[in-house]
């Protein structure tokens, strides 16, 4: 990746990626530190070039309007991947649920280390995507909070103006900051939400009892989500074909956001999900801010490393394929790896009951005994 980015930017390749620098706002870049700002912009442009390299077809941006259809483009891309909602019956172990069926066996949560679960959505998603999971967990006796990150869901911030991971994750870190001294939570991060909960674990390790990475970017120190997504592109190329970079500051400036082509979103993210949930996503998803995706995290053993981590695999995932999920677990081993069979990249849609069971299992695992 480092060599590819260097090649695209016209600078000699190196054996190791450049060190991360937190991106400043546009106004601060114009003010002082010209050389450093120029270097940051060059890294961003190089990263964008690496993402664009090999993209096929023009493709429109992800259109949030429910009235627009891209059937012609889908035909050009070839037949879609098999989907459980159209080509084979849904699993009897996790059937499509009606709202009145979202019931769970009552669970006594009083003796747990914490009964507070905080759900952190992935890139482009919002708190809305957790509606089934929230209902099931609340019926089981948990206190559940679903966070809208900056520029996501109903958060009114402009995605194109988000300049750092700390800014993007601010709703999460503000929530944790407001907890009482003795309060702890279980963080569940999906997709790019994995980088966000990692950032929060580093900042507030004493307030996080457990961290669950749900087919998420589980990074190591000095790496970015972009590093993971680049590996995904090398795996099957679907993400690279589906994305479109947004340059709200002009093509001579770094990208500001990433859109997902609507014609590709179902096969990429929801290949096992019910049609009604795909429709919900099609009118609710928003662009993904680019700066946080390319920001390299600083994670220490004393903070991030002190929190119990769990990874939940999704076997039919086209966005972060199973092989890439397993690679992250080998590089950065969690306490336990669990698996959702038959799940796409949106298990809260495609396997809500199985996801609920898995989260309850993690929540009820006893505290590690001091040796």
- Catalytic residues, which ones? 191, 317, 345
Strand partners, 312: 214, 338
Tokens of 244: 């479109």
Distance of CA 208 to the CA centre of its chain: 19
- φ/ψ of 314, rounded to 5, equals -125, 120
User: How many helices and strands, by DSSP H and E, does the chain display?
Assistant: 17, 9
- Strands (E) across the chain are located at 116-120, 143-147, 185-190, 208-214, 243-246, 257-260, 288-289, 308-314, 336-340
* Residue (of 8, 5, 6, 38) closest to 21 by Cα position: 38
In angstroms, the CA 332 to CA 329 distance is 5
In angstroms, the CA 141 to CA 158 distance is 36
Neighbours of 72 (CB within 10 A): 8
Q: Mapping DSSP to helix (H, G, I), strand (E, B) and coil, where does residue 39 land?
A: helix
């Amino acid at each position: 990746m480092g060599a590819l980015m260097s090649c695209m930017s016209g600078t000699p390749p190196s054996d190791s990626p450049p060190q991360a620098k937190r991106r400043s706002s546009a106004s601060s870049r114009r003010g002082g530190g010209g050389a450093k700002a120029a270097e940051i912009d060059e890294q961003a442009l190089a990263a964008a070039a690496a993402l664009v390299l090999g993209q096929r077809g023009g493709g429109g941006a992800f259109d949030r309007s429910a009235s627009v259809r891209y059937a012609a483009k889908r035909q050009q891309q070839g037949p879609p991947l098999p989907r459980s909602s159209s080509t084979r019956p849904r699993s009897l172990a996790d059937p499509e649920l009606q709202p009145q069926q979202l019931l769970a066996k009552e669970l006594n949560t009083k003796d747990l280390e914490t009964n507070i679960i905080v759900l952190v959505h992935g890139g482009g998603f919002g708190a809305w995507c957790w509606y089934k999971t929230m209902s099931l967990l609340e019926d089981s006796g948990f206190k559940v909070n679903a966070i809208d990150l900056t520029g996501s869901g109903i958060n009114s911030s402009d995605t194109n103006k988000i300049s750092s991971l700390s800014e993007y994750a601010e709703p999460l870190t503000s929530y944790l900051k407001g907890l009482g001294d003795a309060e702890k939570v279980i963080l569940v991060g999906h997709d790019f939400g994995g980088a966000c909960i990692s950032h929060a674990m580093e900042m507030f390790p004493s307030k996080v009892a457990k961290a669950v990475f749900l087919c998420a970017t589980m990074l190591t120190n000095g790496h970015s989500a972009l590093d993971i997504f680049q590996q995904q592109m090398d795996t099957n190329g679907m993400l690279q074909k589906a994305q479109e970079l947004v340059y709200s500051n002009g093509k001579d400036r770094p990208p500001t956001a990433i859109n997902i082509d609507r014609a590709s979103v179902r096969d990429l993210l929801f290949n096992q999900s019910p049609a009604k949930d795909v429709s919900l996503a099609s009118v609710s998803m928003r662009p993904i801010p680019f700066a946080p995706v390319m920001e390299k995290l600083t994670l220490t053993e004393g903070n991030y490393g002190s929190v119990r981590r769990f990874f939940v695999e999704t076997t039919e995932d086209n966005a972060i394929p199973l092989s890439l999920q397993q690679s992250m677990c080998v590089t950065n081993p969690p306490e336990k790896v669990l698996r959702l069979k038959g799940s796409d990249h949106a298990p809260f849609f495609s396997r809500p009951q199985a996801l609920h069971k898995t989260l309850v299992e993690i929540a009820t695992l006893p505290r590690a005994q001091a040796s």
